[in-house]
Amino acid sequence: MKEFSYEKSVNLIVSIMSWVMVLILSAGFLIEYSKGNRTLEFVISILSVGFISAIVGSISFIKNPTNRILRYISFTGFFVMYVFSLMTATTSVTFTFVFPLAALFCMYLDRWFMTIICSLIVILNGAYVINRFRTTDKLIIGEVAYSEFLTTMLIHVFVVILFLNSLLAVVYIFNRMKNAMDLKMKEVAHARLTEQMLNQKMKETGTVLEGNSRKVYEIVQEQHHSSQSVFSAIQEINQGANQNAISIQEQTDFVQSIQLKVKQTSQLSNLMEQEADLTAQNASDGLELIDRLQEKSTEVEENTVIASDLIHSLHKQTVLIQEICQHISSIAHRTNILSLNASIEAARAGDVGKGFNIVAQEVRKLAEQTMTLSTNIEQITSDLANSSLDSVQAMEKLQVINIDQSSLAKESGMMFHTINQHLHSVKEQIFSVHFNIKDILDANFKMNEAISNISAVSEETLANTEEAAAIMESHARGAERTEVLVEELLHTSADLIKLNNS
């Protein structure tokens, strides 16, 4: 852009100077014509060349201010006028017209163009000097005049050559300077471009840094809030685990109490079996009194039916206890699995609260179910104890009746055998109850072990939740420190963007 602007300026100056020089030459030739030194045809011819050259040059400049042809058009017109002027001159100073001519086109700083101009001017002036030597007779003008003529011609030649060489040297030096300046300008432009690119890159980097810092700040804030939420959730889970541990301990004590009750029931069953054996022995011993027990047989039968019903009720309740114990064992197994999952979830500390919260809720639900079933076991065991007590009372009544029947054994022989069969059936039922109670004891022992395992896992879960709470608390403190650092990074990126904009 700068090179084209410079050439436009030179073309403008050349166009203006063309008109100035044409007008000056026109005035000079008109003066010569008025003095009679020039013919009208000569003046018109030479001025036509000058005006045509100036007009064509001006039109060319208007169409394209940076047109390189303009210099050749202008020089051609001036050179033709210079040739006519020099070759037809009546004074020896006409050659000085070459000075403004050469100096004008020297502004283009075109070495090859100036070399052509200087060569043509030297050739023209050489031809002029040769022609003057050829047309000048030493004998006619005299020795002194010829000597002055010779000096003038030599000065003419040397002045033209020295001036043109000076112009060529100036053009050469200016070209060197121009090339150096162009190189420097390119380096400066490259440096400015690099600086602009760096500034743009720094601005983009600052913008990206600010955007990323804001995103990181938002993420850290969200993480901070999440950490606080998770910490609160872990604290709640920890409290729930403490309550669960207390509940499990209470349930353990309750199961142990149930086990004690069942053991007592087993002892009572053994006593009932002994009493049944004793009753059978008494029945054998009272065979002689069977006949006298006829009146009591009906009462014995009724009490025996009652005892049988009570024993059956005890058996059903015992079976129900067994089913409930199996259910409790299943729940304990599920609780163990869920507690293990809770421990794994707490150790992973992934999305820390969600998975463990669900597991903790399931643990609480299963604990509540276990408590409900344990309550049922207590009620059923109480009923079992009451039924056993009723059975004992019935058997005591049966014993009294058997005593009375012993005195009447001889009177009720056939009925005694029937009663003996009923006693054998009662003994079998008592043995069945004793066997079922033993199974209940085994199941209760296993359930006690399962609850102990649950208690151990619960304690481990409690320890893990406390450790997770400590980790999340430390993580929350780290998030707070990170939030402060990101805020400083945001301020730094904002200052960087302001610095680039300024």
What pLDDT digit, counting tens, does each position of 155-210 carry? Answer: 888 888 888 898 888 888 888 887 888 788 888 878 888 877 877 777 777 677 66
In the predicted structure, residue 23 carries a pLDDT above the cut 80: yes
Helix (H) or strand (E) holding 353: none
User: What does the CA dihedral 101, 106, 107, 110 come to, rounded to 10 degrees?
Assistant: 140
* Assigned CATH topology for domain 240-461: Helix Hairpins (1.10.287)
Contact between residue 94 and residue 50 where contact means Cβ atoms under 8 Å apart = no
Q: Among the ranges 107-111, 350-354, 368-372, which has the highest mean pLDDT value?
A: 107-111
State what percent of residues in the chain have pLDDT above 90: 2
Q: Quick one: average pLDDT of 360-382?
A: 73
Q: Which residue has the higher pLDDT, 346 or 27?
A: 27
Per-residue model confidence (pLDDT) at position 227: 67
Nearest to 219 by CA among 490, 484, 483: 483
Per-residue model confidence (pLDDT) at position 322: 66
In the predicted structure, residue 2 carries a pLDDT above the cut 60: no
- pLDDT-based confidence at residue 119 (cuts at 50, 70, 90): very high
State CA 66 to chain mean position distance: 57
Per-residue model confidence (pLDDT) at position 293: 62
- CA torsion through residues 155, 158, 160, 163, sign: negative
Q: Where in the chain is the domain with CATH 1.10.287?
A: 240-461
Per-residue model confidence (pLDDT) at position 1: 43
3-state secondary structure of 290: strand
Residues 251 and 370: their CA atoms lie apart, in Å, by 8
Residues 26 and 255: their CA atoms lie apart, in Å, by 138
Q: Which residue has the higher pLDDT, 224 or 10?
A: 10
Per-residue model confidence (pLDDT) at position 337: 79
Per-residue model confidence (pLDDT) at position 84: 80
In the predicted structure, residue 373 carries a pLDDT above the cut 80: no
State what percent of residues in the chain have pLDDT above 70: 70
Q: What is the pTM of this model?
A: 0.38
What pLDDT digit, counting tens, does each position of 300-330 carry? Answer: 667 767 766 776 777 677 777 767 777 776 7
DSSP state of 67: -
Burial of 482 (0-12, 13-18, 19+ CB in 10 A): middle
State CA 269 to chain mean position distance: 74
- pLDDT-based confidence at residue 118 (cuts at 50, 70, 90): very high
